[in-house]
Amino acid sequence: MLVEVEVAFISYDVKINMPIVVLREKVGTPKRLLPIWISRPEATAIYLKLHDQQFPRPMTHDLMKNILDGVGAEVMSVAVHDLVEVDTALTFMGRITLQVGEKLMDIDSRPSDAIALALRAEAPILVAEKVIQESGFSEEALTEMEKQSRKSFLESMDEETLGEYKV
């Protein structure tokens, strides 16, 4: 089963120096989130589209969309359809579904490229239920993690560090 999601936000993992795109379930209570670590160019492409910004020349995903439009292909949806072990690391697997005339085509893709293209094509972004179950978490869990993180930060501060802040 596939679940429709949206891009909730882009974040950054300072420990491993990588951007993260966070997908949020469109329907459900509480909504679930799925973080996917991605490379900088794709994070930039996603961020720019989310904020309605563009370069004077087409970026790679804009070019992909322009080519697809030029040959009469339509992006029907993109999906994060699996999570597999590749060289001892878990890797998300993506797919782009195109309509070309009467033919549907599934194209293998990195999820980040698929998401960047879906945003430009205004196509649905889908995630396999099993992927969300394996790697996702609820928005409530994120809120709780943020509270615990703030609490741990404050508890770890000494008087000297506290003195650096003006109230």
Write down the mean pLDDT value for the chain.
88
What is the side-by-side order of every strand in the sheet holding 125-128? 103-109, 89-100, 73-86, 125-128, 2-13, 18-25, 32-37, 137-138
Residue 166: per-residue pLDDT = 45
pTM of the model as a whole: 0.84
**Exposed (0-12), middle (13-18) or buried (19+): which is 41, by Cβ within 10 Å?**
middle
What's the residue count for the chain? 167
Residue 167: per-residue pLDDT = 43
pLDDT (tens digit per residue) in 13-51: 999 999 999 999 999 888 999 999 999 999 999 999 999
Domain locations along the chain = 2-136
CA distances from residue 154 to 10, 15, 84, 93, 146 in whole angstroms, order as listed = 25, 20, 38, 39, 12
Residues of the chain with pLDDT under 50: 165-167
Residue 149: per-residue pLDDT = 58
Residue 156: per-residue pLDDT = 59
Which homologous superfamily does the CATH classification assign to the domain defined by 2-136?
A: Bifunctional nuclease domain (3.10.690.10)
CB-based contact 38:150 (threshold 8 Å): no
